[in-house]
Amino acid sequence: MLTKPIKRNISGVLLLDKPIGITSNKALQITKRLFNASKAGHTGTLDPLATGLLPICFGEATKFSSALLGADKTYTATLKLGYISSTGDADGEISVVGDVNLTSKQIELALQSLTGKIMQIPSMYSALKHQGKPLYSYARKGIEVERKPREITIYDLQVVALEENNMDIMVKCSTGTYIRTLAEDLGKILGCGGAYITSLNRNEIGNLNLSDAYTLDILKSMSCTQLDSYLRPTDSLLHNLPAVFMNNTDSQHLLNGQVVTNTALANKFQENEKIKIYNEEKQFLGLGEIAVCGAITPKRLIAISSIQDLPESL
């Protein structure tokens, strides 16, 4: 009788280039199986029609995946101007709503009006929850739910190419931005009646870049040893936080859940500031918070049994 291989307790972060046509969860399950990992999760869902950067967290890294939820993101997308879709993308029912006859000035003014802090009404085909269910579950039943406008930030919005009614754009935005809604709004402001997304690719999440990601086809051709070499250390998820190094005695106290006093930190950090914690061997121990007088309060820590298995950080 065949026995299932024992799952591996590996930890780290893989940057996956998700292909078109599968859900983020499907991409996660395929990747988890390839690594034969016991525990895995993804950060930042991509629709089946969307491609691009999907960080996969294994083992201890899943404890820190929420760090990416509030990170800024960069996308490239292709819009079909003068048409609208019932879903905001190529999967919906398409209707013609206007002509496309644009000038450079029109485009410039439209981009300016959608740059900076703006209010956006979330799409009915988003994963935003209403009474415990994602909005798209209501939309598929033909139910319209009232959504309140939310403030988002568009840091940069550029037209990369325009050919007839196909417009390629680049968007750098805050978390909570719906690109399909942005496309619809842009189409309306341009006087085309609307627009919908025909392709969408995520290029960046925080400091993580698609150029460093791997496709499923590449991963499928590798051995487990080769796959492990593609993993980034867990603390790469917390790149924006300052690092604090502790002696091994204090490290052990911290890992036991105790508050560690270090008055020297009082002048270096503000109270309630989050920090990355390392031991003398530069191994990542977890996330801490500065308390009164520089004391360090443990917030989310690596399991002690896993520390020796983690790649050296920094």
Do 79 and 191 reside in the same domain of the chain?
yes
Would residue 267 count as lying in a domain? yes
Asked if residue 308 has pLDDT above 60, the reply is no
Do 152 and 215 reside in the same domain of the chain?
no
Q: What is the mean pLDDT of residues 149-158?
A: 96
Do 250 and 187 reside in the same domain of the chain?
no
Would residue 43 count as lying in a domain? yes
CA angle 227, 209, 37 (to 5 degrees): 30
- Residue among 183, 24, 271, 264 at smallest CA distance from 32: 24
Predicted confidence at residue 3, as pLDDT, reads: 59
Is the model more confident about 2 or about 106?
106
Q: What is the pTM of this model?
A: 0.89
99: Cβ contacts below 8 Å, ≥ 6 apart: 82, 192
User: What does the longest C-alpha to C-alpha distance in the chain come to?
Assistant: 71
Asked if residue 310 has pLDDT above 50, the reply is no
Do 83 and 134 reside in the same domain of the chain?
yes
Q: pLDDT tens digits, residue range 169-195?
A: 999 999 999 999 999 999 999 999 999
Asked if residue 1 has pLDDT above 90, the reply is no
Locate all alpha helices (DSSP H) within the chain, ordered by sequence. 24-35, 104-113, 135-139, 179-189, 216-220, 224-228, 248-255
Which CATH number goes with the domain that contains 55? 3.30.2350.10
- Residue among 30, 29, 27, 38 at smallest CA distance from 4: 38
Do 98 and 167 reside in the same domain of the chain?
yes
Asked if residue 17 has pLDDT above 80, the reply is yes
Would residue 202 count as lying in a domain? no
Do 108 and 157 reside in the same domain of the chain?
yes
Would residue 4 count as lying in a domain? no
User: How many domains does the structure of the chain reveal?
Assistant: 3
Q: pLDDT tens digits, residue range 78-100?
A: 999 999 999 899 988 999 999 99
Give the type of residue at 29: Q
Would residue 256 count as lying in a domain? yes
- Burial label, 68 (beta-carbon count in 10 A; 0-12, 13-18, 19+): buried
Q: pLDDT tens digits, residue range 31-80?
A: 999 999 999 999 888 989 999 999 999 999 999 998 888 899 999 999 99
Do 77 and 192 reside in the same domain of the chain?
yes
Do 80 and 23 reside in the same domain of the chain?
no
pLDDT band at 311 (very low <50, low <70, confident <90, very high): very low
Q: Which two tokens stand for residue 294?
A: 């520089």
User: Bridge-partner residues for 14, per DSSP?
Assistant: 56
Domain that holds residue 220: 12-70+207-233
**Three-state SS for 200?**
strand
Would residue 60 count as lying in a domain? yes
Would residue 95 count as lying in a domain? yes
Do 80 and 158 reside in the same domain of the chain?
yes
Which CATH number goes with the domain that contains 294? 2.30.130.10
Would residue 314 count as lying in a domain? no
Which of 130-139, 240-249, 282-291 shows the lowest mean pLDDT across its residues?
130-139
Do 183 and 82 reside in the same domain of the chain?
yes
Q: Catalytic positions, please?
A: 47
Predicted confidence at residue 228, as pLDDT, reads: 94
Predicted confidence at residue 261, as pLDDT, reads: 85
Predicted confidence at residue 6, as pLDDT, reads: 80
Do 190 and 78 reside in the same domain of the chain?
yes
Do 105 and 163 reside in the same domain of the chain?
yes
Residue with tokens 């739910």: 145
**Average pLDDT, whole number, for the chain?**
90
